[in-house]
């Protein structure tokens, strides 16, 4: 392109078709791939990367990197351009760094770098950096073309920011709907045990009736059980709030997961003597964990299996992976439909249309505890066949 000449027909139609292809891509990275590839004949480069200022603006995040030439730098290691990106942001202008050959320098030791500022939403937010090994130095036309590419890149990044904001907004909206549902669920959940406690204690206190000892015992048992239910509910609410605000102190120490699960199973059996639990454990190495919190996770899984898969045996398979231990906690209850499965670990989420009561906090609590152990939890389910919860916890790393 001559800087004084109008854009020729070829260039115009090339720009037009490139832009058309770019705007049709929903994924901004795919759009950027097309954009950068389409100009590679006119603007040769080996590697390209985008550096955006991190939240504290004292370092960079590499949000895009491609190695298209024979450059020695892998895409995963994009540290090569961080220095020039820093200069671009500091000087707020295009920076060019050119190496000069002396002696028998290898091609790869002669990088020519060009860094261009990226303005996103009117703010200088990072830099687009190209590197070319040896090859010609950048001409005025190259710089103009690179500048044009950087403007398009910035507009793609604006689109990414919008997409991210929309995803966030949708998640907040869903959370608000769940909060609304939660208020009605929780009022029901609180009122039911309170109603029992009030009803049976008022009956016991009536002056005009005397209750025989058996009936008194029956009423007091109900009051006792409903008080436990209420206490558990309040504890779950507080626990989920503490986990959400990350104010819980975990006490990590070496523990054996097989022993921990066996202990929980014994306690669960006390209240559910008919429950069939089938442990399939191999020899487990110790892991670092908080035994109280991890017990809570398995208690929740037991409570759910008893509630949602009544009468089903529970198979707990424990195996050792390369760097982790994996638990599969399976029931053969009614299952969870695929459409609901992605949401069950969200705070307050309950599968709609079920008659069984609950608050939607149990699995949220489980997930937060497992995440605090640097582990993973997920569920797989087949309708009418059952649900399996998987937990993976690292063996060596200190959380």
Q: Which residues here bind ligand ADP, judged by CB under 6 A?
A: 304-305, 308-309, 331, 333, 336, 344, 349-351, 354, 358-364, 387
User: Of 81 and 358, which CB lies nearer to ligand ADP in the complex structure?
Assistant: 358
3-state SS, residue 284: coil
* Contact indicator for 211, 201 with CB cutoff of 8 Å: no
Decide whether 120 or 365 has the Cβ nearer to ligand ADP.
365
Q: 3-class DSSP state for residue 239?
A: helix
Asked if residues 379 and 390 have their Cβ atoms less than 8 Å apart, the reply is yes
CB 108 within 8 A of CB 133: yes
DSSP state of 136: P
Q: How many CB atoms lie within 10 A of CB 79?
A: 12
For the bound state, the minimum distance from the C-beta of residue 69 to ligand ADP, rounded and expressed in Å, comes to 51
Using the minimum distance from each CB to ligand ADP, give the nearer residue, 18 or 185.
185
Q: Between 289 and 358, whose beta carbon lies closer to ligand ADP? A: 358
Nearer to ligand ADP, 127 or 363 (CB): 363
Q: Which is nearer to ligand ADP, 67 or 377 (CB)?
A: 377
Query: CB of 41: closest distance to ligand ADP in angstroms?
Result: 55
Q: Cβ of residue 328: shortest distance to ligand ADP, in angstroms? A: 13
Q: In whole angstroms, how close is the CB of 358 to ligand ADP at the nearest point?
A: 2
CB 148, min distance to ligand ADP, A = 51
Task: For residues 93 and 368, give the distance between their C-alpha atoms in angstroms, rounded to a whole number.
Answer: 44
Q: C-beta of 333: minimal distance to ligand ADP in Å?
A: 5
Task: Compute the least distance from the CB of residue 317 to ligand ADP, in Å.
Answer: 15
Cβ atoms of 55 and 75 within 8 Å: the answer is no
CA quadruple 298, 300, 304, 307: dihedral positive or negative?
Answer: positive
Tokens of 197: 């406690």
Three-state DSSP class for 220? helix
Structure tokens at 218: 């029956």
DSSP 311: T
Closer CB to ligand ADP, residue 226 or residue 331?
A: 331
Closest C-alpha among 73, 65, 41 to residue 128 = 65
* Distance between CA atoms of residues 232 and 42, nearest Å: 68
């Amino acid at each position: 392109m001559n800087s004084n000449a109008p854009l020729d027909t070829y260039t115009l139609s090339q720009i037009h078709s490139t832009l058309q292809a770019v705007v049709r891509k929903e994924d901004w990275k795919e759009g950027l791939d097309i954009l950068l590839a389409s100009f590679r004949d006119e603007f040769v480069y080996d590697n390209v990367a985008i550096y955006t200022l991190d939240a504290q603006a004292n370092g960079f995040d590499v949000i895009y990197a491609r190695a298209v030439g024979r450059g020695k730098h892998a895409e995963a290691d994009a540290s090569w351009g961080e220095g020039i990106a820093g200069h671009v942001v500091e000087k707020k202008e295009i920076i060019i760094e050119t190496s000069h050959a002396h002696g028998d320098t290898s091609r790869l030791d002669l990088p020519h770098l060009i860094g261009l500022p990226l303005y996103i939403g009117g703010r200088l937010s990072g830099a687009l950096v190209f590197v070319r090994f040896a090859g010609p130095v950048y001409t005025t036309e190259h710089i103009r073309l690179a500048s044009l590419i950087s403007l398009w890149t910035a507009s793609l990044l604006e689109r990414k920011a919008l997409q991210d904001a929309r995803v966030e907004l949708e998640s907040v909206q869903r959370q608000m709907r769940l909060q609304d549902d939660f208020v009605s669920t929780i009022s029901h959940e609180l009122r039911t045990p309170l109603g029992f406690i009030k009803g049976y204690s008022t009956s016991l206190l009536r002056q005009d009736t005397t209750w025989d000892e058996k009936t008194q015992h029956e009423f007091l048992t109900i009051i006792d059980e409903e008080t436990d239910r209420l206490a558990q509910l309040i504890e779950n609410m507080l626990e989920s709030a503490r986990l959400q605000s990350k104010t819980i102190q975990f006490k990590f120490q070496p523990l054996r997961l097989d022993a921990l699960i066996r202990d929980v199973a014994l306690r669960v059996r006390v209240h559910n003597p008919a429950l069939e639990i089938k442990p399939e454990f191999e020899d487990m190495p110790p892991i670092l964990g908080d035994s109280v919190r991890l017990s809570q996770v398995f208690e929740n899984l037991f409570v759910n299996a008893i509630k949602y898969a009544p009468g089903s045996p529970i198979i707990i398979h424990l195996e050792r992976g390369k760097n982790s231990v994996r638990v599969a906690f399976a029931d053969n209850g009614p299952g969870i439909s695929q459409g609901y499965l992605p949401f069950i670990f969200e705070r307050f989420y309950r599968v709609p249309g079920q008659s069984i009561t609950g608050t939607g906090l149990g699995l949220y609590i489980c997930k937060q505890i497992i995440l605090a152990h640097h582990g993973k939890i997920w569920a797989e389910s087949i309708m009418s066949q059952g649900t399996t919860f998987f937990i993976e916890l690292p063996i060596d790393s200190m959380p």
